[in-house]
């Protein structure tokens, strides 16, 4: 087995057009949440969204204009991560490099546009059979993986994981395993999501899990672990990392941004949406055990922290159970307070921010935590970032509808 | 006009050399379009005329000019012999 290093990272998120902008905004406690666009607000005037800080198509070759928005996000993040890692298209060992993607609802924009066109065609007494021939390739869940593997000529396995909010965390974990166990030498891992569309937002609204607008400051409406929390805000974007065996990275003298060293995963097998503490604890303990770390070795944990009534209380209890006495010294934050919930992309975006926090010794806050829920009694880094911290290892949690729990551990690689 | 729509699409979206279309005997096969390229190209017409062109792969065996004539005939059959005025700009993608 080999060590698995992080040699590149990228992001396009509500907080910034790249990973450095995103991290700087997170440290500044800037909340990128606002009222939904008119096409959504006409039906859901109270709904909030966290749109990406940049239009992905503006950062890509014009030939990418026809791709689904989630695929465009994926390409932007992958371009940054691969550039960061110094990996160009068509590498000599292309068969040893895989593409691992996590996405919750692939092709949401294409599907919404398809039904909007169908409705309009029927209203106009037109022929609904005339539909764009690329509709299926655009909406298929593995469209992003296909686009990245084709653009970079990567011939290793091209996998897509759709595990709701844990999708891209699973993608990181599975790529980590494949490299650690010698099936691959490197992988591009991407999480992407783009479903700020009328159809998707109507569906999410029906679940009654969306945050209500804050009367004083709409941007501060998502309040994980706070007494007055009311739910999450959907965001969009993508993040990417390049994972590489230590041998491959050393052979080309590529510096590492960290090492992925622990991956825990479990399933609640109990309820479609309600979380289970027992299995969250299992995932965290598995990740720690695989990393060979004790709870006290982790200094920062990026919580799933969705700001739902049940989710935050259960996760707090789970962290306490997994970390024991070390929970008192653990800094925990939910960056969803700022960038919203990117569903399939949330796990990897939060992992990227966590690795950057580890390297910078600066912890992004739970920016909107003015008054904590007494049941959520950990150090949630309230309101402002914490600087000059010694961070040698981080954990990132992703807990999904459907009961999938994933915890990832990374440590410094100096 | 039909010719302009198809040529513009192939030049702007598929990177075809405009000089190719100077050849009156140009074969569709010389455009090196795969099956997906072909249906994408035809969608540019279908989107404007509101019906699907039948059996698109047969065009691969034709001259470019014969393909355009065939498409025009299909459109006229759907419009009582008329050829409607199409906007060069596609309506949607």
pLDDT by position in tens, chain A (length 414): 999 999 999 999 999 999 999 999 999 999 999 999 999 999 999 999 999 999 999 999 988 999 999 999 999 999 999 999 999 999 999 999 999 999 999 899 999 999 999 999 999 999 999 999 999 999 999 999 999 999 999 999 999 999 999 999 999 999 999 999 999 999 999 999 999 999 999 999 999 999 999 999 999 999 999 999 999 999 999 999 999 999 999 999 999 999 999 999 999 998 888 888 999 999 999 999 999 999 999 999 999 999 999 999 999 999 999 999 999 999 999 999 999 999 999 999 999 999 999 999 999 999 999 999 999 999 999 999 999 999 999 999 999 999 999 999 999 998
Contact between A227 and A193 (Cβ < 8 Å)? no
Instruction: Locate the chain B residue with the closest alpha carbon to A136.
Output: B36
Smallest CA–CA distance, residue A135 to chain B, in Å, is: 9
- Here the tokens at position A74 are 């994926």
Enumerate the H helices of A89-230 as residue ranges: 108-123, 135-139, 143-152, 167-180, 198-206
CB contact under 8 A, B50 and A66: no
CB contact under 8 A, B52 and A127: yes
Q: Could you say which of A304, A339, A376, A413 is catalytic?
A: A304
**pLDDT above 70 (res B90):** no
Interface list for chain B against chain A, based on CB atoms closer than 8 Å:
13, 36, 39-40, 42-43, 46-47, 50-52, 92-93
Half-sphere exposure (Cβ direction) of A263: Cα atoms closer than 13 Å = 18
Chain B residues in contact with A127 (beta carbon < 8 A): 50-52
Chain B residues in contact with A130 (beta carbon < 8 A): 43, 46-47, 50-52
Tell me which of B12, B16, B33, B46 to substitute to probe the interface with A (most A C-beta atoms closer than 10 Å): B46
- Here the tokens at position B13 are 């979206």
* Distance (Å, whole) CA A399 – CA A401: 7
Residue A88: what pLDDT? Answer: 97
Closest of A388, A203, A392, A400 to residue A315, by C-alpha: A400
Half-sphere exposure (Cβ direction) of A167: Cα atoms closer than 13 Å = 30
* Distance (Å, whole) CA A44 – CA A369: 26
CB contact under 8 A, A130 and B47: yes
Closest of B53, B56, B54, B40 to residue B90, by C-alpha: B40
**pLDDT above 60 (res B91):** no
- Here the tokens at position A292 are 């060979």
CB contact under 8 A, A130 and B92: no
Which helix (H) or strand (E) segment is A99 a member of?
A: strand A97-103
- Sorting pLDDT into bands at 50, 70 and 90, what band is B85? confident
Q: Which one-letter DSSP state was computed for residue A360?
A: H
CB contact under 8 A, B52 and A126: no
More confident residue, A283 or B84: A283
- Here the tokens at position A190 are 């991407």
Closest of A380, A229, A243 to residue A302, by C-alpha: A380
CB contact under 8 A, A134 and B52: no
Q: What is the dihedral of CA B65, B68, B74, B77, to 10 degrees?
A: -80
Could you tell me how many residues make up chain B? 93
Here the ipTM equals: 0.82
* Distance (Å, whole) CA B55 – CA A387: 65
Q: Domain limits of chain A?
A: 4-411
Tell me which of B50, B57, B79, B90 to substitute to probe the interface with A (most A C-beta atoms closer than 10 Å): B50
Cβ burial, residue A91 (10 Å; 0-12/13-18/19+): middle
- Sorting pLDDT into bands at 50, 70 and 90, what band is B89? low
Smallest CA–CA distance, residue B11 to chain A, in Å, is: 12
Contact between A118 and A207 (Cβ < 8 Å)? no
* Distance (Å, whole) CA A68 – CA A142: 11
CB contact under 8 A, A129 and B52: yes
Instruction: Locate the chain A residue with the closest alpha carbon to B35.
Output: A133
Backbone angles phi, psi at A408, to 5 degrees: -120, 140
Chain A residues in contact with B10 (beta carbon < 8 A): none
CB contact under 8 A, A127 and B40: no
Backbone angles phi, psi at B29, to 5 degrees: -65, -25
Strand A48-50 and strand A234-235: pairing? Answer: parallel
Chain A residues in contact with B52 (beta carbon < 8 A): 127, 129-130
Told to judge if A339 belongs to the known catalytic residues of this protein, a careful annotator would answer: no
Predicted confidence (pLDDT) per residue in B47-61, tens digit: 999 999 988 889 999
CB contact under 8 A, B52 and A132: no
Of A127, A129, A133, the CB nearest to B39: A133
Q: Which one-letter DSSP state was computed for residue A383?
A: S
Q: What is the fold of A4-411?
A: Peroxisomal Thiolase; Chain A, domain 1 (3.40.47)
Interface list for chain A against chain B, based on CB atoms closer than 8 Å:
63, 66, 117, 126-127, 129-130, 132-134, 137
- Structure-token match 């106009």, residue found: A124
Strand A300-302 and strand A393-399: pairing? Answer: parallel
- Here the tokens at position A323 are 């970390």
* Distance (Å, whole) CA A384 – CA A377: 17
Chain A residues in contact with B11 (beta carbon < 8 A): none
* Distance (Å, whole) CA A68 – CA A74: 10
Told to judge if A304 belongs to the known catalytic residues of this protein, a careful annotator would answer: yes
Could you tell me how many residues make up chain A? 414
Instruction: Locate the chain A residue with the closest alpha carbon to B41.
Output: A133
* Distance (Å, whole) CA A188 – CA A9: 9
- Here the tokens at position B31 are 């455009």
Told to judge if A261 belongs to the known catalytic residues of this protein, a careful annotator would answer: no
Residue A275: what pLDDT? Answer: 87
CB pairs under 8 A between A and B: 27
**pLDDT above 80 (res B88):** no
Cβ burial, residue A326 (10 Å; 0-12/13-18/19+): middle
Chain A residues in contact with B51 (beta carbon < 8 A): 127, 129-130
Non-local (6+) Cβ contacts of A312 within 8 A are: A224, A225, A229, A305, A306, A373, A376
Smallest CA–CA distance, residue A126 to chain B, in Å, is: 7
Q: Could you say which of A339, A341, A376, A413 is catalytic?
A: A341
- Here the tokens at position A232 are 């999450």
In chain A, the largest separation of any two C-alpha atoms, in whole Å, equals 68
């Amino acid at each position: 087995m080999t060590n698995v290093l992080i040699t590149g990272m990228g992001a396009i998120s509500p907080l910034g057009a790249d990973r450095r902008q995103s991290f700087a905004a997170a440290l500044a406690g800037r909340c990128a949440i606002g009222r939904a666009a008119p096409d959504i607000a006409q039906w859901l005037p109270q709904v909030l969204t966290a749109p990406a800080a940049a239009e992905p198509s503006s950062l890509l070759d014009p030939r990418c204009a026809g791709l689904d928005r989630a695929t465009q996000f994926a390409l932007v993040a992958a371009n940054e991560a691969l550039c960061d890692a110094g990996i160009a298209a068509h590498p000599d060992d292309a068969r040893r490099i895989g593409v691992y993607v996590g996405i919750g609802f692939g092709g949401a924009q294409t599907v919404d546009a398809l039904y909007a066109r169908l409705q309009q065609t029927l209203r106009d007494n037109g022929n609904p059979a005339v539909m764009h021939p690329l509709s299926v390739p655009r909406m298929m869940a593995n469209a992003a993986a296909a686009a990245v593997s084709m653009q970079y000529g990567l011939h290793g396995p091209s996998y897509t994981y759709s595990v709701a909010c844990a999708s891209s965390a699973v993608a990181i974990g599975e790529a980590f395993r494949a490299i650690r166990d010698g099936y691959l030498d490197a992988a591009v891992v991407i999480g992407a999501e783009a479903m700020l569309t009328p159809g998707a937002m109507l569906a999410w609204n029906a679940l009654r899990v969306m945050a209500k607008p804050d009367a004083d400051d709409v941007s501060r409406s998502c309040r994980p672990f706070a007494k007055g929390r009311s739910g999450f805000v959907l965001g969009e974007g993508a993040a990417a990392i390049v994972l590489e065996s230590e041998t491959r990275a050393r052979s080309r003298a590529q510096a590492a941004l960290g090492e992925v060293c622990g991956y825990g995963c479990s399933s609640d097998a109990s309820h479609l949406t309600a979380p289970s503490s027992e299995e969250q604890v299992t995932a965290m303990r598995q990740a720690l055990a695989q990393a060979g770390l004790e709870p006290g070795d982790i200094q920062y944990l990026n919580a799933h922290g969705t700001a739902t009534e049940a989710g935050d209380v259960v996760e707090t209890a789970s962290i306490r159970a997994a970390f024991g006495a070390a929970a008192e010294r653990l800094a925990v934050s939910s960056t969803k307070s700022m960038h919203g919930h990117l569903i399939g992309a949330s796990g990897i975006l939060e992992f990227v921010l966590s690795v950057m926090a580890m390297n910078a010794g600066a912890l992004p806050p739970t920016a909107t935590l003015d008054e904590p829920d007494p049941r959520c009694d950990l150090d949630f880094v309230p309101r402002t970032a914490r600087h000059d911290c010694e961070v040698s290892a981080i954990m990132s949690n992703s807990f999904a509808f459907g009961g999938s729990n994933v915890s990832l551990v990374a440590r410094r690689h100096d | 006009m039909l010719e302009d729509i198809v040529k513009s699409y192939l030049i702007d979206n598929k990177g075809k050399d405009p000089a190719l279309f100077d050849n009156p005997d140009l074969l569709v096969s010389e455009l090196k379009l795969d099956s997906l390229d072909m249906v994408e190209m035809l969608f540019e017409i279908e989107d404007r005329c509101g019906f699907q062109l039948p059996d698109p792969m047969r065009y691969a065996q034709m001259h470019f000019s014969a393909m355009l004539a065939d498409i025009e005939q299909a459109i006229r059959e759907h419009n009582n012999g008329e050829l409607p005025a199409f906007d060069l700009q596609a309506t949607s993608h």
